[in-house]
Chains A and B, each alone.
Chain A
Amino acid sequence: MRPTSTARITAWGLLQSEWTKLWSVRSLWITLAVAFALTLGLAGYMILDGEMLGGEEAGHIPFGWTAIYPVGMLALVILGVLTITNEYNNGSVRTSMVAAPRRTGVLLAKAAVLTLITTVLGVVTSVLLYGLLQIAGTVPSADGLSLFDPDMFWGVLGGTAVLPYGVLFGLLLGGLVRNAAAAIVLYFGLFQMAPEILPALLPASLTGIFDYMPLAAANVMRSGGLSTEPYGVATSIIVLLAWLIVLGGTTWWLLKYRDV
């Protein structure tokens, strides 16, 4: 049988292809599973234990368990990096680019599949942990509080959003650097450690720029409005999106016009 005459590159086809690619490589779905198992396990432990979340200082934050989410985010950054760098590493990127020579769709499909999966899993994780919190009752301020109560909802939403944000950031960073080790070192060095180490070494007038690094902005977003320093949640979202646009634009441009 000859392939049907309707066969051509479509957005839906590219999405299916990326979906297949993700689930057919063990290291990728294991990284994904580890990210969420880690988030669920650590946050679940903190909720049941209650010592940190229910203490005097933290007890008034109903969504305190989302403080664990940056750990899951880190694992998802690595997943994002691996999803694209492993194609460069083993040459299968050439197969991908021959199948979809305009290239843009491949990057968009990868981003869409990863974002969709991590968003769904992130929401499920948060709902499960919220339920556990209600059962455990270890955080006084959360007792009987609806998930959709503004005091709860925005914090949970902001915390959950860092999970897909991490995977997207990793994907774009990996596409930029095209090498897993380099991308991961770059992430740790520039985005994770530099904002903690460099402010001590730089003149005070310059340390303000670190407030605009992605993790700093993500922390503001996770606060659900409780933190307004150095800027509010709306600004934090703009900062986070700006990072994606700049990183994504550069990665897209290089993918589109660089030889593979």
Chain B
Amino acid sequence: MIVAEHLTKKYGEHTAVNDLSFTVRPGLVTGFLGPNGAGKSTTMRMLVGLDIPTGGLITVNGKEYRDLPDPLRHVGVMLDAKAVHPGRSAYHHLLAVAQTHRLPRSRVQEVLEMVGLASVARKRAGGFSLGMGQRLGVATALLGDPEVLVLDEPVNGLDPDGVLWIRRLLSSLAAEGRTVFLSSHLMSELSLIAEDLVIIGQGKLLMAGSVEEFLGEAGPRRVQVVSPDAGALAERLQGRGCTITSTDRTTLEIQGVDAAEIGSVAAEHGLVLYELSSRSLSLEEAFMELTQTAVEYSTQEPAR
């Protein structure tokens, strides 16, 4: 279990992470979401002791990472795939990491096979493609057979094959009962595997909870109505505490009342409906809605 309590990191004047508190439940895949620059990497770096928090605390199973006598057996980390000496072979890179914890050499071979790098293990890591580098990063994270895996943007820059590979691997690791904590700025990527979400923007917590809770909180369902009498229907719905936007003369987007009520109102007043459909927000839309106010470097929308 990963617990952040009032975690804060300041770089001079700039606050990268601001009073962040959340819990990553054991045995689940938790997506760590936020726009670029939201403080995801900084939080993960503090988790494994690379950055020292300005305030607050982040712990793994109740202990700070630095205080673990055998950190690699608790937490496997991939922060950036290129944390490798380009002149060193994949095998020796892994061996040097394994030796710090006195893990057996056979374990190096095992993880190399697990990620499909056994055939290039003796080649210099500098010649690896992005995808191979990513695999080596995952192999490093798996060395100590940890119960918690922390991955920062694992699919960034991967080709579709690589994305599929990571997705399958993470699913199988989660199925083994491991805790997976992975960051992304793409909701679409996480929505396929994450059960829990921690969403931050500008270093602050926006939401933490399960995917269902997130969708429930993100906003009411919308109803789309197509009617030749759109104007009249909109008038009849006034005063029911709903917001109505019309996209053209016949189409309405209605929030705040459900489809059944709209249908009843239309029937009551003899208004013709061509279409009456309700839909919930997709994860992507909900995420955009939640974070649009918390984007650090937003492009200026042209005035309408």
Are these two chains actual partners, yes or no?
Answer: yes
The digit string for B49-85, where 1 denotes a CB below 8 A from any CB of A, is 1111000000000000110111111000101101111
A108 to B169 alpha-carbon distance, docked (Å): 37
Known interface pairs A17-B96, A20-B92. Does A94 touch B102 (Cβ–Cβ under 8 Å)? no
A3 at interface, CB cutoff 8 A: yes
Find chain A residues with CB under 8 A from B104 CB.
3-4
Among candidates B65, B69, B83, B100, residue contacting A17 with C-beta atoms closer than 8 Å: B100
Interface residues on B, range: 35 or more
- Asked if B86 CB lies within 8 Å of chain A CBs, one says yes
Quick check: A1 and B110 within 8 Å, CB to CB?
Answer: yes
| A97 and B96 form a contact (CB under 8 A) | no
CB-contact partner of A20 in B71, B79, B95, under 8 A: B95
Residue from the list B50, B89, B145 in contact with A98, Cβ < 8 A: B50
CB atoms of A24 and B71 under 8 A apart: no
Are B99 and A91 in contact, with the CB atoms below 8 A?
no
Quote the shortest CB–CB distance from B120 to chain A (angstroms). 15
- Check A91 against B52 for contact (C-beta < 8 Å): no
Number of inter-chain CB pairs below 8 Å? 119
CB contacts under 8 Å to A, within B215-271, are none
Contact B77 A8 (CB under 8 A): no
**Taking the complex as formed, is B118 at the interface, i.e. its CB lies under 8 A from any CB of chain A?**
no
CA distance A94 to B104 in the complex (A): 22
B25 interfacial by beta-carbon distance below 8 Å: no
User: Do B71 and A98 touch across chains, with their CB atoms under 8 A apart?
Assistant: yes
- Chain B nearest CB from A29 CB (Å) reads 11
Q: How far is the CA of A7 from the CA of B79 in the complex (A)?
A: 23
Q: Which residues of B contact A259 (CB under 8 A)?
A: 45, 50-52
Which residue of A is nearest B141, CB measured?
A98
Residue B48 at the A interface, CB < 8 A? yes
A16 at the interface (CB under 8 A from B): yes
Q: Does A10 contact B (CB under 8 A)?
A: yes
Interface residues of A in 18-72 (CB under 8 A from B): 18, 20-21, 24-27
Check if A148 is an interface residue, CB within 8 A of chain B. no
Q: Answer yes or no: A9 CB below 8 A from chain B CBs.
A: yes
Residue of A nearest to B146 (CB): A3
Q: Is the CB of A17 within 8 A of B51?
A: no
A2 B83 Cβ-Cβ under 8 A: no
Query: Which residues from chain B contact A101 at a C-beta distance below 8 Å?
Result: 48-49, 65-66, 68, 71
- Chain B, residues 129-155, CB within 8 Å of chain A (1/0): the string is 000000000001001110000000000
**Would A25 and B87 be within 8 Å (CB), given that A13-B100, A90-B82 are in contact?**
yes
Contacts of B273 on A, CB cut-off 8 Å? none
A residues 118-151 near B (Cβ < 8 Å) are none
Contact digits for B15-54, partner A, Cβ 8 Å, 1 yes 0 no: 0000000000000000000000000000001001111100
- A3 and B107 contacting across the interface, CB-CB below 8 Å: yes
Cβ 8 A contact of A97, one of B50, B101, B102: B50
B88 interfacial by beta-carbon distance below 8 Å = yes
Tell me whether A8 and B70 are in contact (CB under 8 A).
yes
CB neighbours of B99 from chain A (8 A): 13-14, 16-17, 20
How far is B145's CA from A95's CA once the two chains are assembled, in angstroms?
16
Give complex CA distance A172, B77 in Å. 28
In-complex Cβ contact of B100 among A2, A93, A100 (8 A): A100
Q: Is the CB of B66 within 8 A of A102?
A: yes
Given A1-B110, A9-B71: 8 more A-B contacts, CB < 8 Å: A13-B100, A13-B102, A24-B92, A92-B85, A93-B83, A95-B83, A97-B49, A99-B101
Ordered by A's residue number, 23 sampled pairs between the chains whose C-beta atoms are within 8 Å are: A1-B107, A3-B144, A6-B102, A7-B70, A7-B102, A8-B101, A8-B102, A9-B70, A13-B102, A14-B99, A17-B97, A86-B85, A90-B82, A90-B83, A91-B80, A91-B82, A92-B88, A94-B80, A95-B83, A98-B48, A99-B101, A101-B66, A259-B51
Residue positions of A touching B, CB distance < 8 A: 1-4, 6-10, 12-14, 16-18, 20-21, 24-27, 86-87, 90-95, 97-102, 257, 259-260
